[in-house]
Structure 1
Amino acid sequence: MKKNKPKYKKIIDAAVEVIAENGYHASQVSKIAKRAGVADGTIYLYFKNKEDILVSVFQEKMGQFIERIEEVIVEHHSADEKLYRLIDMHFRQLSENPSLAIVTQLELRQSKKELRMKINDVLKGYLAVVDRILEEGMNEGTFHAHLNVKLVRQVIFGTLDEVVTNWVMKEQRYDLVGQAKEVHFIIANGLKIHQS
């Protein structure tokens, strides 16, 4: 399969850097090829066009992202701990790769509907992880039993997304991962059943 080939990974990583530096519209395929150390034509063996590269970047990185989050949360027992780990990993993975953070927070926000739909499709796997944590918390009696899972999931994802976007816009001048505890506190306290 193409995705297991080293050149595919090289092109994906080069695309992240080039798009982060130049913006999606100013990132020519030739610049990505040069950064990856491959001929321009080689890119077309793996991708249909620049749009396909952008969607593939997101698929590849989001796939890795979901795998890492699932590996980490499986080690924790309560839904609340899993929620904290998800928030921490979300921030940690993007703070470890600021170029990827720029691409996900700024360059993936494309106005073209077809492109937005492809990106939303990739996000479904991540949102399913959030749903599982919420449902687990409701079943174990930690979170309110009457939560609207779809709405709460949007609130959680929207919050994490905005915190990362703000960090990117402020040129990563502060510790993103350091905000995980406070963000978890705010979200979890809205979800938990408070014993009187």
Structure 2
Amino acid sequence: MEKTTLQLFELNQRTLAQWHNKRQKGQEQAVLLQGVQPPSASAVDPEPQPQPRPLLREAPTYAHLQYVFLSPPNAVGLAKQRNHPGAAVRTIAPALAPLVIPVPHAPALPSTSSAAAAAAAPPPPPRLVQRTTSWRHKKRAEEQEEGSKRKYERKRAENMCGLCGQRKRKEFGLSRFGNTSFCSASSGKTVAQWLAEMRAGKL
């Protein structure tokens, strides 16, 4: 090593792996390019490309005239206020002027002209009331005049069955389960059987 000028690489596992991978990739490329003619001409265009356009420092000018949009004139504050009959004349203060509202210390008495106008004004229309509401008000006024509310008078002492005409009691074969009534004379079953069927169906 002292008598030669060759550069000797340090042989280790990493250097051998790099050489092996490079040689294997070259062999794979040679196998894939079998029978393929490589391009002979250069991929560069022989004609030079045009130069890029320089940046414009000023806006371009055209031969035609620029169109001017016509806007309507500013008519703020020139409109006339229409005075309706029977309405007070109001003046509009300028937009920049502050609006000052004086606070009176005592309420002002109405003038004779305003009082006469209020008396001559037509009365407001009557308020519509439903028939049921008016009927309740009428009955309440009658009860207050009599001094006591009318009590409900029952015509029959006990409830009667519309099928057999008997009183609605269990000893007469009549019963009730929930909102359903039962009559043994019209159905041919006993009260115990009917109750058992109704309870079984409910469960």
**Pairwise TM-score range, normalised by the shorter structure:** under 0.3
Identify the structure with bigger relative contact order (alpha carbons < 8 Å, sequence gap 6+): 1
TM-score normalized with structure 2 length: 0.15
TM-score normalized with structure 1 length: 0.15
When Rg is computed on C-alpha atoms for both structures, the one with the higher figure is 2
